[in-house]
Chains A and B, each alone.
Chain A
Amino acid sequence: MITASDKRWIVPAIGAMLVWGFWAFLPKIALNTLQPHSIIFYESLGNFCVSLPVLFYLRFRLQFQAKIVALVGMSSALTALAILAYFIALHNGPVAVVVTMTAMYPVLCLVLARIFLKEKLNRTQFAAIAMSVVALLLLVWPA
C-alpha cells in the first residue's frame, strides 16, 4: 500500500500546483494583446508540445474504443468552452478572484450528486459547501 510517508509523490504534486498556477495566471498577460478565442487556439498548440512526447512515449499506440473516445471528445470540448469562458472572465476581472471562484467547481459536483444521485454528504463536506458559498459571496459582492 502507498502511504503518505512515502515522499516521492510530493515533488510531482508541488510541480502540478506550480504549473497549474502559471496556467491560471499567464493568460491574464496574454489577454493584453490577444482575444480569448485566439488564446484558446494557441493554448491548444501548447498542449500539443507536451502531448507529443507523451505520444512518443506511448509509441503512437493509442487505445481506441469508439464510445469512450466519443465521450472523451465531448468532455474535452466542454472543457475547452469552459476555459474560453474562464479567459473572458479573466479579461474583465482580477486573477485571484476569478481563479479561486472557478477552482471551487468540485463543490458543485457534491451538490449535484446530492440532488440528483441522492448521495449522502458527511459533515465536513457540508462545511466545505457552506465555506465555498460564503467565499463566493465575499468574492462577488461589490464594495
Chain B
Amino acid sequence: MDISILSSNAAWFLPALVALFVWGLTAFLPKLLLRSMQPLHMIVYNCLFFFLTACGVQIAFRGQFEFDMTGVLLAMATGACGTLGQVFYLIALQRGPLTYASMISSLYPAVATVLALVFLPDPLTLRQGLGVTLGLASIITLVLASDNPAQTKMPEAVNDR
C-alpha cells in the first residue's frame, strides 16, 4: 500500500488506529477479571483508576490546565454517559441474552453518526458512508457469530463506553 495515500488522513487516522489497537488488546482483560469481581464493583474501580490516569495525563501536560464552562459540562456529560452506558448494558445482560444486548448496544456509532449529521457541519462522502455502513454490518455480524442467542453469559468488557 502506498503510505502517502494515508498521510492526508494521518492527523486522525493514526490516533484512531492507536485507540483501535489498545481497545482491541485490552478488551479481553475485563472479561477475565469479571470471573473474580462483580461488575458493579469493577465499574467503581474503573472510575477510580480512570481518574488517576487522567490526573497523570494532566501532570504530563503541566501548565496547560484549561477551564471553559461549556466544555467542562460537555466533558463531564461524556463521562457520565460512558459510565451510565456500562450500567445499562449490565442491566440488559442480567435480563436478556448476551448476543442481542451486545448487538443493540454496539450500534452506538450509528447514534453518533446521526447526531453528527444533524448537529455538525461534518459531511460524509459516499465512500465514507459506505464504510460506516459496512463497519456497522461487520460489528453486527461479529456479535451474531460469537454466541448462542439464547444463552446468558458473563458480561463483556467493561470499558468506558
On chain A, the residues within 8 Å of B96 by CB distance are 2, 4, 6-10, 13
Contact check, B128 vs A94: say whether CB atoms are below 8 A apart. yes
The distance in angstroms between the C-alpha atoms of A97 and B130, with both chains bound, is 10
Given A4, A25, A58, which contacts B44 in the complex, CB threshold below 8 Å?
A58
Contact assessment for B85 and A85 in the assembled complex, using a CB-CB cutoff below 8 Å:
no
Check A112–B24 contact: CB distance below 8 A.
yes
The secondary structure that dominates the B interface is helix
Q: In the complex, what distance in Å separates the CA atom of A135 from the CA atom of B129?
A: 10
**A binding-site residues for B, Cβ under 8 Å:** 1-4, 6-10, 12-30, 32-35, 37-51, 54-55, 57-58, 62-63, 65, 68-69, 71-86, 88-110, 112-113, 122, 124-125, 127-129, 131-132, 134-143
* Chain B residues within CB distance 8 Å of chain A: 5-6, 8-9, 11-30, 33, 36-38, 40-58, 60-61, 64-66, 68, 70-72, 74-89, 91-97, 100-101, 104-117, 119-120, 122-125, 127-132, 134-139, 141-146, 149-152, 159-161
Shortest Cβ gap from A142 to chain B (Å): 5
Give every chain B residue within 8 A of A45 (Cβ-Cβ). 51, 76, 79
Report whether A41 and B55 are in contact in the complex, using a CB–CB cutoff of 8 Å. yes
* CB neighbours of B38 from chain A (8 A): 63
> Given that A23-B161, A34-B68, A125-B142 are known contacts, is A16 also in contact with B85, CB under 8 Å in the complex?
yes
Q: Which residues of A have CB within 8 Å of B51? A: 44-45, 47-48
Instruction: Give the complex CA separation of A77 and B30 in angstroms.
Output: 12
Instruction: Give Cα A18–Cα B130 distance, bound, in whole angstroms.
Output: 22
- A34-B66, A93-B9, A142-B8 known; A99-B105 Cβ under 8 A: no
A-B residue pairs in contact (CB < 8 Å), sample of 13: A1-B152, A12-B92, A13-B101, A20-B161, A25-B116, A29-B119, A33-B71, A41-B57, A42-B79, A62-B41, A104-B20, A135-B137, A141-B5
The 3 closest A-B pairs by CB, nearest first: A21-B111, A46-B79, A9-B96
Given A44-B54, A108-B25, A131-B138, residue A125 in contact with residue B146 (CB < 8 A): yes
Tell me which residues across on chain A come within 8 A of B22, comparing CB atoms.
78-79, 81-82, 85
Residues of B near A13 (CB, < 8 A) are: 88-89, 92, 96, 100-101, 104-105
Of all chain A residues, which has the CB nearest B53?
Answer: A80
Task: Report A-chain residues with C-beta under 8 Å of the C-beta of B15.
Answer: 85-86, 88-89, 92
Q: Which chain B residues border A8 with CB–CB below 8 Å? A: 95-96
